[in-house]
Amino acid sequence: MFCEKSLNLIKELDRSTEAMPAFDDDGVRQVFEEMRGLYDQNVAAANDSTADPDGTAIAGIAIRHAALERNKRCLMAYVYNRIRKVRNMRWQFGSILPPEIKANLCEPEIQWFNSYSKTLALYMKSIGDQGLNLAQDVKPPKSLYVEVRSLTDYGKFEMDNGEVVLLKKHSTHLMSRAQCEPLIIQGILEQITH
């Protein structure tokens, strides 16, 4: 039946367990083809209306039109939901994407990401006199220093006051919360609760 492919696109996106699934280029192209096919049929049928006296062609045109609209809606939903996920990536990782995520995005999405980062940065700078980084303090702060454990071999991490900490896997640290919050959100450090 019509619109199966576009429905599939949305279903796949919804069911996927990854944070940022890959862009289904093929699927989208198939939907375009279907739309083109339907549209061409419709145009042909409309131009040919003289040959159809009892009005059954109208029904066909109406169905195809509805299918076209549905395809468009599905595609827009697909694009929109992906964009929401890309936006979440910006809030999680900052303005530089890790390569695994980047591989799953198509070119326009990467451009969208960059432009969004720019717009967001402009807005954040405009708050107050000096700007405010809205990506920090995501949770209500419970203490000034937190105990964190390093989950990966991140390497040397320099803090604002000049101290350098080596974040090797399995090492435990007590650090100022403000400094290590971005790393916790990115998943490099894990906060230890007692």
- Determine the interface stretch with other proteins among 14-22, 51-59, 95-103, 111-119 (rule: CB under 8 A): 111-119
Helix and strand counts by DSSP (H, E) for the chain: 6, 5
- Determine the interface stretch with other proteins among 12-20, 45-53, 95-103, 126-134 (rule: CB under 8 A): 126-134
Q: Which residues in the 134-173 window bind other proteins by CB under 8 A?
A: 134, 136-137, 139-141, 143-145, 147, 149, 156, 162-166, 168-173
Residue found by looking up tokens 């198509």 in the block: 106
Contact pick of 3, 20, 89, 175 for other proteins (by CB under 8 A)? 175
Q: Which is nearer to other proteins, 18 or 69 (CB)?
A: 69
The backbone region for 128, taken as left when phi is positive above 0, alpha when psi lies in -120 to 50, beta otherwise, is: left
- Direct distance between the N- and C-terminal alpha carbons of the chain, in angstroms, rounded to an integer: 57
The minimum distance between CB 139 and other proteins, in angstroms, equals: 8
